[in-house]
Homo-oligomer: A and B are copies of this chain.
Amino acid sequence: MSLFEIRKMSAHLPDPAPRTGGPGSPCSACNVRHLTLCAALDDREVADMSAIVSSVELGPGEPLFDEAEPAKHVFNVTAGAIKIYKLLPDGRRQMTGFLFPGDFLGLANDETYAYSAEAVTFSTLCRFPRKLLEPLLERYPRMERRLLGMASHELAVAQEQMLLLGRKTAREKVASFLLMLSRRAVQRGQKDNPISVPMSRNDIGDFLGLTTETVSRTFTQLKQGGAIALQSNGKVELSDRAALEVISEGA
């Protein structure tokens, strides 16, 4: 598949919208506001940053980095969708997250990445050398505060996901997933209905601890129950959000 074609395919994706509220100024380096690392900086500081960040573009399915590989960079998603996952030796896979514009990845405690990352759709990212992160945080304490806030938010999200994986039924998992996608679309300033579901059934299954087949069956079951409607273009309409809310917390 040519890069040109991929770009064309992705052309319908809305641009990341400017966020409303919150402190900080737009980041010219990565062209995303507020949810990003750079949102803690003012214009002059952003200009400094521009000198050391670079841009990355990935087509669907292209890897960004692999688990256990030396963690040379941190990234900020600026367009598209990224999946991050861990593997067992026999190939079983667990998605640990889907990342959208404004999301941050690559923060690692030790010298290697704790998970693999790969593009779902055509994506662009803002790349920053990890070596330079520590002095940067030293220099801009607001940035560190922001990073801590993001990490602690991620932690809460991870705990919610553990509840889902360990204790929810397939039906509850899928309903929760759709609502999560919808909420995150709103956060990014996109419309929340119908929602864009760019990842495959298999990816969704690996995120929810289910198989492709079970995800597919559950989608049709929710469709037949009138809670959702499947559109042809990879979009899902949440016809009855209240019903989904009820289902997601235990029918």
A residues with CB within 8 A of B: 86, 88-90, 92-94, 96, 107-109, 114-115, 137-138, 141, 144-145, 147-149, 151-156, 158-163, 165-168, 206, 208-209, 249-250
Contact = CB atoms under 8 A, between A and B. Distances in A.
A165 B168 contact: no
Contact of A162 (B141, B151, B165): B165
A151 B104 CA distance: 15
Contact of A96 (B141, B144, B159): B159
Contact of A159 (B92, B114, B152, B167): B114
B154 A209 contact: no
19 contacts: A86-B160, A86-B163, A88-B167, A88-B249, A93-B167, A94-B163, A94-B166, A107-B152, A109-B152, A109-B153, A115-B159, A144-B145, A148-B148, A154-B155, A155-B158, A158-B158, A166-B206, A166-B208, A166-B209
Contacts of A160: 86
A6 to B, nearest CB: 29
A217 to B, nearest CB: 18
A15 to B, nearest CB: 27
Given A93-B167, A208-B166, A151 B155 contact: yes
